């Protein structure tokens, strides 16, 4: 009898170990994805004049106003260097956490957040683009203390692409 009970306990423990818990990274990722997508969807419905377009299935949206597409036919790779001016804010609060003003930094695309890697190639040199980026393509579940951006923040960037170097 004890042997049967022991076998049942081992089997039950095995099943318990296989179940998904709230601390499972995939479960947390999917839950945050749903939250971000809902926030962005509500924002875009409340602002229909933005005419935002979605980049593939990523959940990153972009807005390019007519006449602000830029010029050229540059190809973008992970080693492409871009020179930009930008402002960054948290979509839900409007908190401005980054602004370049007259300073125009240069970055390799491989060194920026995934939302920029997907969005910046949608515009050409001297163009302007607005990116609405779900947290999974920004800083994810990590606080950014240096710029006071909490984890899981949906970000809103206005970017001017000054130069593209391959």
CA distance 111 to 80: 10
Phi, psi (rounded to 5 degrees) for 109? -60, -35
Q: How much is the pLDDT for 22?
A: 55
Question: What is the C-alpha to C-alpha distance for residues 59 and 52, in angstroms, rounded to an integer?
Answer: 11
Residue 61 has pLDDT above 70, yes or no: yes
Q: Which CATH class is domain 25-165?
A: alpha beta
Question: What percent of the chain stands above pLDDT 70?
Answer: 87
**Token representation of residue 52:** 């935002």
pTM score of the predicted model: 0.84
Distances (CA, A) of 161 to 105, 119, 121, 130, 139: 10, 11, 10, 11, 22
Higher per-residue confidence, 23 vs 106: 106
Give me the residue spans of the domains in the chain: 25-165
Is 10 a residue whose pLDDT tops 50?
no
C-alpha closest to that of 138 among 106, 98, 101, 166: 98
- For 66-96, write each residue's pLDDT tens digit: 999 999 999 999 999 999 999 999 999 999 9
């Amino acid at each position: 009898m004890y042997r049967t009970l022991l076998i049942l306990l081992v089997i039950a423990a095995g099943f318990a170990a296989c179940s998904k818990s709230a601390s499972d990274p995939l479960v947390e990722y999917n839950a945050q994805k749903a939250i971000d997508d809902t926030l962005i969807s509500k924002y875009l419905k409340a602002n229909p004049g933005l005419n935002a377009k979605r980049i593939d299935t990523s959940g990153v949206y972009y807005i390019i106003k007519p006449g602000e597409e830029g010029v050229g036919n540059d190809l973008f790779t992970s080693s492409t260097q871009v020179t930009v001016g930008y402002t960054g804010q948290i979509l839900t609060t409007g908190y401005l956490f980054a602004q370049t003003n007259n300073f125009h930094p240069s970055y390799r695309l491989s060194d920026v957040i995934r939302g920029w890697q997907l969005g910046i190639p949608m515009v050409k040199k001297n163009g302007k683009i607005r990116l609405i980026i779900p947290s999974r393509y920004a800083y994810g579940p990590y606080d950014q203390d240096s710029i006071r951006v909490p984890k899981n923040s949906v970000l809103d960037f206005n970017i001017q692409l000054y130069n593209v170097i391959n």
